[in-house]
Structure 1
Amino acid sequence: MTSPTALRPDETRSHRGDRRAWWGLAVLVLPVLLVSMDMSVLYLALPAITADLDPSASEQLWILDAYGFLIAGLLITMGSLGDRIGRRRILLLGASLFGLASVIAAFAPTSALLIAARALMGIGGATLLPSSLSLITDLFADPRARGRAIGVWTAFFAGGAAVGPIIGGVLLHHFWWGSVFLINVPVLLVLLLAAPALLPERRVASGSPLDLASVVMSVVGIMAAVYAVKHVAEYGLDAVTLITGAVGVGLIVAFVRRQRTLTVPLVDLSLLANREFTVAIGSSLAGMMSLAAFSYLSSIYLQSVTGRDPLAAAYLGVPLAVTVFASSMYGSRIAERLGVSTTFVASLVLAALGSLMLLGVGVDGGVAWYVAGSAVAGLGYGTVFTLVSEVAVGSVPEEQTGAAVGVSETSFELGNALGLALLGSLAAWIFAAGGDFAPTLGETLESGAGAGVIDAAKQSFVDGMHLATAIGAGLMLLMAVLAARSRRR
């Protein structure tokens, strides 16, 4: 006799299918965590890399954001390519490239090779994000389960950026700086072994070829424009700045015009005509710019200005990591009670206020301001990042949701890279203008300069950090105002 509580055969299959889907999700969040973590894991490792490889100020920033810019430039392209050749296949190809590039980066003997390895990691990372999110849609047929799964995916993405410096600090306390790259290898091996058994393969037929001209225009245009910004911060306005800047702007303009003429564009610019969508994307861009600058500059401050070792600096980053991850997990529940619009605006304001609390730190003290400010900002950042995808996708017709997700992901990656390039370069320019120092604070500290020069260099760095984080906070407050106005309309 069958027990009253026993599952029927079809229910058993459904239960096993659900369990397999959640195991598949567990595998998919692994590359998401790595891609996000590798944006920030180098913040604490940079002083050690500087001491070993002696990169210039410009090379230091390229080590950090060559990775992010290639992800941002190739994200939509790789998503489209995955639809053509298979989402699981491109996930595994990207993971293999990411792992190989991580090994090269770990043992790179020069700054140039490290930058090249980071660029390869960016190419691999660009395949992992869109394919993992698309495979979640394939795994979960039930809309509610799919929504919970995407929430977990978002939490790991947002939390990875915050937890990266902590993991980096622990590794650097015990090993050399290359260990922050080698940690990727065992995680990727788990993905490569488990994915074929747990993840489905899916292709989407497309009658249009991939527009390679658009790919080249977007990537080269962004890289040239950013190089111009970095060059002017280090060397001032010269012919190199003007030429590369003109090339970058020209290619970006040509890219936009080309998208308007293509039947199947690489980026659907018609989405930007939707006010709510534009505000959501602008908020993710501003939020990631602010968070990237906040994390990068505060990591250098904790080590080079206050004299803490990487592990002690990592411990001070725990409040930011915890609050970002927790608010990412529960942001949607808060929005259900307060309303999405109200929660979205309040979170932007909260992140901005937390960032402004960094103005309380100084050369001789104020670390408590950093700890408190990072905890407050983390609550805002995590909630904003969770709601961005919900607002962006919910504001467009159903047939445009795929394109909306692609633009949303790109805004996160581009915001991270722009935060390092623009706000990081601004802080570097303020530092250089403060006196006759070596190109970076780390080099100045190791140059054997007198106490007066060291103190002046530390103060100039703090001044640059204050200005960069204040501008990042100002961008978020601006987006909060625009979001509030959009809500009223």
Structure 2
Amino acid sequence: MNEQRVSHSPGLRAWLGLLVVLGPVLLVAMDGSVLFLAMSKVSDALSPTADQALWILDVYGFAVGSLLIAFGNIGDRYGRLKLLMTGAAVFGAASAGAAFAPGPELLIAFRALMGVAGATLLPSALAVLSELFPDSRRRAKAIGVFAATFAAGFAIGPTIGGRLLSSFWWGSVFLVNLPVVVLFLVLAPILLREVHAARTGRIDILSVLLSTVGILLTVYAIKHAAAQGLTAAPTAAGVVGIATLGWFVRRQLHLEFPLIDFRLFHDRVFTIAAMTGLLPLAAWSATAYLGGIYLQSVLGLTVMDAALVALPGAAVLTVTCIATPAAVARVGPRAALITCHFFIAAGMLLLLAPGTSGGIGWYVASTVIAGIGYGVSFSLVADIAVAAVPTERAGSAAAIAETSNEIGNALGIALLGSLAAAVFRLQGPGLAGTLNETLQTPGLTAAVIGDAKTAFVTGLHAAAAIAAGLHTALGASAVRYLPRAFTSPDDAGPAPQAQDIVEVDGARCPRGSGAPGLDDRPRSRSCG
């Protein structure tokens, strides 16, 4: 019997569906960084304290990172498109609330809600692509566009924010989300189809609570210590947070369906890949945030000029994301993974040169050099992490790789931002907890203003030096532990997938575990 040949070429619906899916992806990434240049305006309007300013910036990333895996499983049970639609609607409503927040407390709350909604969007959007592109080659290209869009969103967020703030008030950086959300809600039911998993692991609610509470309590203690010094209550909260995270780790080791499979870290390649997902985002987010304050509050640039200064680094990062697959095909993933850390370390070291005047050239050079490393890491991590583990654990590997990006983005601001805040508190004039608050104090002399700016620049240098040291150490570890025979995931064919069943409009097909990442792809063309 002759087999009937089936065409797997995606039609117009598939490509239009991809464009529709990329809208929420771009928003989730962009909102992780859009406030970096806007914080000066937010501080002028809402007068947040030092720790409130840090929460405004990073509570979004913590919410996304801590709930990403849980919502991946929820989408499997109740439908990815349904969750995608719900998440987009909540994201739009929370964006509108953030835009008109009357004080820092409500802005933090709405940013947290945006993060919860964002955690529903990423895994579901990637899963829907598997239905749009059943052919493995075209699906790989679509996922590459997905990854490049996500990285570009992070990169252009500060520039978009700066452009909006040059003409509108600070809330406009959130209102820009609404047209994209409305367009998605109108077109998604037309162009996208529901995707279910017929078999999923149980969601351990206690694990979700432990990870979220442990992270938030620990970060709260660090921020409070940086801004105000050690006091009893925050220190106790930090101890409880660390103990809660320890309980979370122990629980994962005994669950049949862990939220994070820590046993994967026994593999050196996977561990280095996961750390490469975390550290570059930490360095990038912290220095982009501190750099925005430096350009505006220290050097006196307008928000639009600051956005233009940040543009070369964003452009290099985006182009590198797109060019990395071709480069990896020539030099191999081992060389690329090692090189990215030394590029980032070199960029961080260049940030030690800028002072309280005339540092724009050094800042641009830093973002361009580091941008090469960021682009390589953003493009490479997920594939290497998935390829490093057995097929049946690929879903967990992809989930950890995706989560490490989001947690890294938030941790950079929380930890390195807190370090800079602590340096400012110890070396500044002692009038307020942040540079912007200090500069708003009436009757300041030129000497006090100079001391405040010098203290802030010292904090920026400290954060950059720590980031450079961490990346140098991780690059050296990659040289030491990555096997020389390590090959590209592309060389071995499609990335390995965890066995599961996907139900697409009633058809049952094997695919990944449903965790966010590169595992949501059909394994057989017959299921197209």
- What residue is the counterpart of 2:433 in the other structure? 439
- What residue is the counterpart of 1:24 in the other structure? 17
Structure 1 residue 34: Cα displacement = 0.7
Describe the SS at the equivalent of 1:40: coil
* Counterpart mapping for 1:254-293 below 5 A: 254-293=247-286
Whether contact under 8 Å (2:385, 2:401) holds in the other structure is yes
Residue of 447, 454, 465 corresponding to 2:449? 454
Letter of the aligned partner of 2:413 in structure 1?
L
Describe the SS at the equivalent of 1:174: coil
Structure 1 residue 149: Cα displacement = 1.6
Structure 1 residue 44: Cα displacement = 1.2
Q: Structure 2: 5+ residue runs without aligned partners?
A: 485-528
Q: Aligned partners of 1:486 and 1:135: how far apart in 2?
A: 36
Q: Aligned partners of 1:53 and 1:154: how far apart in 2?
A: 35
Structure 1 residue 67: Cα displacement = 0.7
Letter of the aligned partner of 1:92 in structure 2?
M
- What residue is the counterpart of 1:6 in the other structure? none
Structure 1 residue 331: Cα displacement = 0.5
Larger CA deviation: 202-211 vs 72-81: 202-211
* Counterpart mapping for 1:106-125 below 5 A: 106-125=99-118
Q: Aligned partners of 1:89 and 1:446: how far apart in 2?
A: 47
Instruction: Tell me how many residue pairs correspond in the alignment.
Output: 479
* Counterpart mapping for 1:411-426 below 5 A: 411-426=404-419
Q: Aligned partners of 1:254 and 1:140: how far apart in 2?
A: 41
Larger CA deviation: 382-391 vs 397-406: 397-406
- What residue is the counterpart of 1:307 in the other structure? 300
1:473 aligns with 2:465: no
- What residue is the counterpart of 1:127 in the other structure? 120
Whether contact under 8 Å (1:437, 1:457) holds in the other structure is no
Deviation digits for residues 212-266 of structure 1 (CA, Å, limit 9, x no counterpart): 1111001011100100100111121111222111111111111111111111111
Q: Identity over aligned residues, as a percent?
A: 47
Structure 1 residues 381 and 244, CA gap change in structure 2 (3 angstroms): same
CA RMSD of aligned residues (A): 1.4
Structure ranking higher in helix proportion: 1
Q: Aligned partners of 1:22 and 1:485: how far apart in 2?
A: 43
1:484 aligns with 2:500: no
- What residue is the counterpart of 1:172 in the other structure? 165
Structure 1 residue 10: Cα displacement = 7.5
- What residue is the counterpart of 1:5 in the other structure? none
Describe the SS at the equivalent of 1:432: helix
Deviation digits for residues 80-130 of structure 1 (CA, Å, limit 9, x no counterpart): 111111111111111011000000000000111100000100100001111
Q: Aligned partners of 1:230 and 1:179: how far apart in 2?
A: 28
Q: Aligned partners of 1:445 and 1:136: how far apart in 2?
A: 49
* Counterpart mapping for 1:134-283 below 5 A: 134-206=127-199, 208-283=201-276
- What residue is the counterpart of 1:3 in the other structure? none
Describe the SS at the equivalent of 1:203: strand
1:371 aligns with 2:381: no
Larger CA deviation: 20-29 vs 210-219: 20-29
Q: Aligned partners of 1:456 and 1:274: how far apart in 2?
A: 48
1:50 aligns with 2:24: no
Larger CA deviation: 149-158 vs 170-179: 149-158
Letter of the aligned partner of 1:452 in structure 2?
A
TM-score normalised by length of structure 1? 0.95
Q: Aligned partners of 1:68 and 1:177: how far apart in 2?
A: 20
Describe the SS at the equivalent of 2:37: helix
Deviation digits for residues 292-347 of structure 1 (CA, Å, limit 9, x no counterpart): 11100000000000111110100001111101110111111100011111111112
- What residue is the counterpart of 1:408 in the other structure? 401
Whether contact under 8 Å (1:228, 1:241) holds in the other structure is yes
Structure 1 residue 209: Cα displacement = 3.2
Structure 1 residues 382 and 443, CA gap change in structure 2 (3 angstroms): same
1:331 aligns with 2:318: no
* Counterpart mapping for 1:342-357 below 5 A: 342-357=335-350
Larger CA deviation: 273-282 vs 191-200: 191-200
Runs of 4+ with >3 A deviation: 206-209
